[in-house]
Amino acid sequence: MALKVSRRGLVPPFIVMDVMRAANARDAAARTPDERCIHLEVGQPGTKAPAVVRAAAAAALESDRLGYTEALGIPELRARIARHYRERYGVTVPEGRIAITAGSSGAFLIGFLAAFEAGDRVALADPGYPAYRNILTALSLDAVGLPADREHRFQPTPALLERAGNLAGLIVASPANPTGSMLRPAELKALVEWCRARGVRLVSDEIYHGITYGETAATALQFGDDAFVINSFSKYYSMTGWRLGWMVVPPDLARSVEVLAQNLFISPPTLAQRAAIAAFDAAAECDANVASYRTNRDLLLARLPEAGFREFASPDGAFYLYADVGHMTNDSEEFCRRMLAEAGVAATPGTDFDPERGRRFVRFSFAGTTADMEEAARRLKAWRR
Ligand SMILES: Cc1ncc(COP(=O)(O)O)c(C=O)c1O
């Protein structure tokens, strides 16, 4: 007899991981460096963790037993994050409301479980980070896509929310993945207030804070304490594989978050926590990475039009260009397969972020080296000639 398979486990694949596998296979078969592909598909820094973080990790390996920590993380790190909110945003957050998690991904799991019941409807912008939708689905929540438009920089608006029906939650990200676009402070405030007035729980993904090219990003904490604010050491601090993030928990959910964290994870990774305390002293190194992303962004914005890529979502932050390729294809997955096979450039099809309209978009990540950006622009120009 066939054994039962859970429907909620049948979430769609994270397409970028499939693209990465194909690109890696091509690299493995390459005979010369020229045959290797340029990786513009993955959303992760090409740099190591900051030197002070690596030194702190080395010291902790020798001196610390590295046993479990408290479920919400080591007090020193939680206090350091509270200080970060005071210094960077001028907001006071008691360290008791800060939970350290296994990446922001761990924070989503705990946060969604603490805030929502199975069957609740949670809105999010299309295009958006695919795991939001897939984690919601795996938890038997109903992900409600908001068809965000270019005019509003692909961000949610109160008008879109009004049309979405009854909601329990809203997820926003600023800067966002895949667009890199940002909510202005007044727009974020309007969303916080819209949610508060209707009893809708806001989840603000602030993982790309620090990686901005003009205005600095506002935190939802500037407008109250009822939102979940989620962040991570993965991007600005260049620590993806260390699997460490955090969330600022609304006061009414503090205990359930702690209990869920105890049961689901026992504690976040201890070595990464010990090292991450030093990350806040690495601003010079992290900002130098951001300066290099800016160079990469400007280079691609100048050079990609030569290859026919002309329309981009407003790239205010993060390290992505979301390019409209509607004049070249209506099947971005096939387009990306050909781009990889024929030009040796890996990019992510928009369908990863927006199942329908993503057929006419491609996401380029510019988190790699400037030399790689130059080579990608050269290859794409030659490909499209
Ligand atoms: C918008 C956004 N949120 C969350 C994540 C997950 O990051 P992590 O679990 O490494 O903190 C990513 C990763 O690409 C992302 O782009």
The sheet with strand 245-248 has its strands ordered as 98-101, 245-248, 228-232, 201-205, 169-173, 121-126, 142-147
Burial of 299 (0-12, 13-18, 19+ CB in 10 A): middle
Helices vs. strands in the chain: H and E counts, helices first:
12, 13
- Considering all CA atoms of the chain, what is the largest pairwise distance in Å, rounded to the nearest integer? 61
Phi then psi for 170, rounded to 5 degrees? -140, 135
The mean pLDDT of the chain is 96
pLDDT at 145 over 90: yes
Atom of ligand 1 nearest to the CA of 43: 14
In tens, the pLDDT along 33-79 reads: 888 999 999 899 999 999 999 999 999 999 999 999 999 999 999 99
Pocket test for ligand 1, best of 134, 204, 207 (most atoms within 8 A of CB): 207
Do 51-281 and 7-48+283-384 fall under one CATH topology? yes
The band of 363, judged by pLDDT with boundaries at 50, 70 and 90, is very high
Centre of ligand 1 from the C-alpha of residue 157, in Å: 22
- Give the whole-angstrom CA distance, residue 289 versus residue 236: 8
Would you tell me how many other CB atoms lie within 10 Å of the CB of residue 251? Answer: 11
Q: What are phi and psi of 334, to 5 degrees?
A: -65, -40
Best residue among 100, 104, 236, 240 to mutate for probing ligand 1's pocket (most ligand atoms within 8 Å of CB) is: 104
The full set of domain ranges for the chain reads 7-48+283-384, 51-281
CA of 43 relative to ligand 1 center, distance in Å: 8
Structure tokens at 305: 């039009």
CA distances from 258 to 110, 139, 261 (A): 9, 19, 5
Using CA positions, which residue lies closest to atom 14 of ligand 1?
A: 43
Q: Is the pLDDT of residue 9 over 90?
A: no
**How remote is the CA of residue 207 from the centroid of ligand 1, in Å?**
7
How far, in Å, is the centroid of ligand 1 from the Cα of 104?
A: 6
Domain spanning 51-281 has what CATH number?
A: 3.40.640.10
pLDDT confidence of residue 68: 98
State what percent of residues in the chain have pLDDT above 90.
90
For tokens 């509003």, name the residue.
152
pLDDT classification of 1: cutoffs 50, 70, 90 = confident
Q: What is the best residue among 17, 129, 230 to mutate for testing ligand 1's pocket, by most ligand atoms within 8 Å of CB?
A: 129
Give the model's confidence band at 13: pLDDT under 50 very low, under 70 low, under 90 confident, else very high.
confident
Atom 13, ligand 1: residue with shortest CA distance: 43
Q: What is the whole-number distance in angstroms between the Cα of residue 362 and the centre of ligand 1?
A: 18
Give the distance (Å) from ligand 1 centre to CA of residue 132: 10
Q: How confident is the model at residue 16 (pLDDT cuts 50, 70, 90)?
A: confident
Distance CA 172, CA 128 (A): 9
Are 364 and 23 within 8 A, CB to CB?
no
In sequence order, what are the residues at sequence separation of 6 or more whose Cβ sits closer than 8 angstroms to the Cβ of residue 282?
50, 51, 52, 53, 237
Query: Distance between CA atoms of 17 and 26, rounded to whole angstroms?
Result: 14
Non-local (6+) Cβ contacts of 84 within 8 A are 280
| CA-based nearest residue to 87, from 233, 192, 216 | 216
In DSSP terms, 147 is beta-bridged to 126
pTM attached to this predicted model: 0.96
Q: What is the pLDDT of residue 384?
A: 86
pLDDT score for 48: 97
Architecture of domain 7-48+283-384: 3-Layer(aba) Sandwich (3.40)
Please name the residues in contact with 327: beta carbons below 8 A apart, sequence gap of 6 or more. 308
Atom of ligand 1 nearest to the CA of 128: 1
SS3 call for 14: coil
Neighbouring-strand partners of residue 143: 122
Dist. CA 128 → ligand 1 center (Å): 11
